[in-house]
């Protein structure tokens, strides 16, 4: 489990996180959403201990990540949006780094690289950005770490590769793992998330399961609004290519809410979701 309590963090005199709290349980894939500059990457780095909070407490499987012990780090894989790969081939990289992860599955790694069409003999440094990203994803998923943090994993990937990424993440999750995926590419990954957190103005303003969202909210079209608006007040309204749509709070709705639309609703009216 990951628990963040009353976090304060800032790069200057003002705080980026202002009394932020969040909890992440095993067996879940969390979508971490927020505007540019909201602090999604910063939060992931604080969880790994790459950044130190000014106030508050973080516990990662009962360890303090600011004390980067071997027992903690062997169970965390962090894939940042910006990364570097050395001038070695895939096999050399495997031999150099897989030993740091006790649950690493070599066969799974090689099979995933094959699905991603990674040229195994070529220097990783010379690969295209998309190929590099697929290689690191293949390696990260193969660690089967208890905590896997992915920052914009589909950015820069072609459509077939995104399909494989979604499949591999869904296949690899087990009851002892936590996946946290920070992304702006919501439609690429929303079908993977079983829970979502929205980071806004220094706080987590929403932490909910997808099932709970679908059960308690519904989307209605412009021609349906009059039938619902008296009983279920409109929370958010948006003009789309297919016409005006609105979000209403309606229990037992059994809807399938578009997560990008729902994110816009929460950011526009956070007080209505607290």
Structure confidence at residue 136 (pLDDT): 95
Sign of CA dihedral 245, 246, 251, 257: positive
Q: Are residues 86 and 169 in the same domain?
A: yes
Report the number of distinct structural domains present in the chain.
Answer: 2
Residue 87's CB is within 10 A of a number of other CB atoms, namely: 9
Contact 215, 253 (CB under 8 A): yes
Q: Are residues 87 and 168 in the same domain?
A: yes
Determine, yes or no, domain membership for 206. Answer: no
Q: Are residues 121 and 24 in the same domain?
A: yes
Which of 142, 171, 201 is a domain's end point? Answer: 201
Residue 10's CB is within 10 A of a number of other CB atoms, namely: 15
Tell me the C-alpha distance between 129 and 186, whole Å. Answer: 21
Q: Are residues 144 and 30 in the same domain?
A: yes
Q: Are residues 170 and 268 in the same domain?
A: no
Q: How many CA atoms lie within 13 A of 178 on its CB side?
A: 21
Structure confidence at residue 226 (pLDDT): 63
Q: Are residues 146 and 196 in the same domain?
A: yes
Q: What is the pTM of this model?
A: 0.92
pLDDT by position in tens, the chain (length 274):
999 999 999 987 788 999 999 999 999 999 999 999 999 999 999 999 999 999 999 999 989 999 999 999 999 999 999 899 999 999 999 999 999 999 999 999 999 999 999 999 999 999 999 999 999 999 999 999 999 999 999 988 989 989 989 999 998 888 999 999 999 889 889 889 999 999 999 999 999 999 999 998 988 887 666 666 667 778 898 887 777 888 888 777 778 889 999 999 999 989 888 6
Contact 140, 150 (CB under 8 A): yes
Q: Are residues 23 and 94 in the same domain?
A: yes
Structure confidence at residue 255 (pLDDT): 80
Angle at 74 between CA 69 and CA 80, to 5 degrees: 100
For residue 231, what are the domain limits?
211-273
Determine, yes or no, domain membership for 72. Answer: yes
Residue recorded with tokens 């894989």: 77
């Amino acid at each position: 489990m990951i628990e963040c309590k009353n976090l304060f963090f800032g790069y200057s005199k003002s705080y980026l996180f202002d009394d932020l709290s969040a909890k992440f349980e095993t067996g879940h894939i969390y979508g971490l959403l927020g505007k540019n500059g909201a602090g999604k990457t910063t939060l992931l780095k604080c969880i790994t201990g790459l950044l130190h909070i000014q106030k508050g407490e973080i516990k990662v499987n009962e360890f303090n990540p600011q004390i980067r012990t071997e027992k903690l780090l062997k169970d965390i894989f962090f894939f940042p949006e910006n990364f570097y790969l050395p001038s070695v081939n895939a096999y050399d990289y495997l031999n150099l780094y897989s030993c740091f992860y006790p649950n690493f599955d070599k066969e799974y790694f090689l099979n995933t690289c094959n699905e991603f069409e990674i040229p195994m003999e070529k220097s990783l440094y010379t690969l295209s950005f998309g190929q590099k990203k697929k290689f690191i994803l293949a390696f990260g998923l193969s660690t089967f770490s208890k905590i896997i943090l992915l920052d914009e994993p589909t950015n820069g990937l072609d459509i077939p590769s995104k399909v494989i990424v979604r499949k591999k993440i869904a296949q690899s999750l087990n009851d002892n793992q936590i996946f946290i995926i920070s992304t702006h590419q919501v439609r690429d990954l929303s079908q993977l998330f079983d829970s979502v957190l929205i980071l806004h103005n220094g706080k987590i303003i929403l932490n909910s399961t997808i099932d709970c969202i679908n059960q308690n909210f519904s989307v209605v079209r412009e021609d349906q609004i009059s039938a619902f608006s008296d009983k279920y007040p409109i929370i958010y309204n948006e003009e789309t290519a297919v016409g005006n749509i609105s979000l209403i709070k309606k229990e037992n709705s059994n809807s399938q809410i578009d997560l990008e639309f729902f994110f816009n609703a929460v950011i526009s009216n956070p007080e209505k979701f607290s």
